Chain A
């Protein structure tokens, strides 16, 4: 049982490049979410999904897209990376609404130069 798996763990991008951060969970969780963590800012919600085919915006969605074609996967796309998107990104999942983000991935450290 792998839990929540994020790839890659580290990534350096040039401004304007695009990439996809991968997130997969093998616990059949309905709810998945993406956060970014910046020094002194705590964790801020980017996008979330309450089930396959359903996504919604969080607190800081600009510059990011998501999709949820399967229960297991919830990729985060940066269409045109900017230095302001340098951060550590965490994917999280939980079984159902109201349970809290029970499981976080290990994070992806992204640097945009």
Chain B
């Protein structure tokens, strides 16, 4: 089946630092989504990308849909303690089904 390679698996950073994570695939996707999951909660949609090359921001978060349609990245600027959590990418190839990456665990040290 389709696979998404999400990296890094985990990150330990200091408050105020910028963060970058990405997802790559051998398959082309028509939609890329980024989610955040807090402990004991369901994932929350952060950013949705629908066009190759699209660059979208949501506050301190910026995500891009790769030109090749096989990758996407998420940047978080000036991290704060509440950014802690697991970040997931997800891709769709035109039907309803999403394929999720395995997640990036972010820890922010105050």
Residues of A within 8 A of B (CB): 4, 31, 33, 35, 40-45, 48, 50, 56, 58-59, 90, 92, 97-107
Contact = CB atoms under 8 A, between A and B. Distances in A.
A104 B33 CA distance: 14
A6 B97 CA distance: 21
A48 B97 contact: yes
B101 interface: yes
A30 B40 CA distance: 26
Contacts, number: 59
B7 to A, nearest CB: 13
Interface residues of B, number: 23
A100 B92 contact: yes
A53 B74 CA distance: 37
B83 to A, nearest CB: 19
B48 interface: yes
A98 B31 contact: yes
Nearest to A4: B42
A73 B30 CA distance: 28
A75 B18 CA distance: 41
Most chain B CB neighbours (cut-off 10 Å) among A58, A100, A104, A107: A100
B44 interface: yes
Most chain A CB neighbours (cut-off 10 Å) among B50, B90, B98, B102: B98
